[in-house]
Amino acid sequence: MSRPILYSTHISPPCRAVLLTAEAIGLKLEIREINLDAREQFNEPFKKINPQHTVPTLDDNGDIIWDSHAIICYLTGKYGKNDSLYPKDLKKRAIVDQRLHFDSGILFALLRGIAKPILRDGVTSVPEEKRKLVLEAYEFMNKFLNNKKWLAGESFTLADISCVSTLSSLD
């Protein structure tokens, strides 16, 4: 059985979340770097794998999955030694899922809205309105952490991996 292949780029927080998850579960991945600056994600061979042309994209022996949250849940379910990162208990899992949606719907959306004008359009500062939204998101995270060690409760989960990957670029 060959290693799962991860199409990735070093600059992407979602790609980092997949790499951190693989490390946490002891899974070795074959990494295939996709150069977004060279627009390699739009090359036909990659678009055949992922018509949405996004990274990260996972190829696990022909099973193709994209979106970091889908990938990390899949990898943890298939290769994880236990359910500590993604609990089977539905109430605990729902909280992890909520935090994952917070990451994609709030944190990463903010990061994208800030980074895209800087990287693509040469903007050199972050508008005050966007700064306020970031601070508001941080306030929500502080509420998630209220009297808890981790974002989704008392144990380290995929929610922590995913959110910290985004925060490391947002900060």
Give catalytic residue positions.
Answer: 12
- Per DSSP, 36 falls in state T
163 near 26, Cβ under 8 Å? Answer: no
Q: At what angle do helices 90-102 and 128-145 cross, to 10 degrees?
A: 170
86: nearest Cα among 160, 33, 2: 160
Q: Which residues contact 103 (CB under 8 A, 6 or more apart)?
A: 69, 159, 162, 163, 166
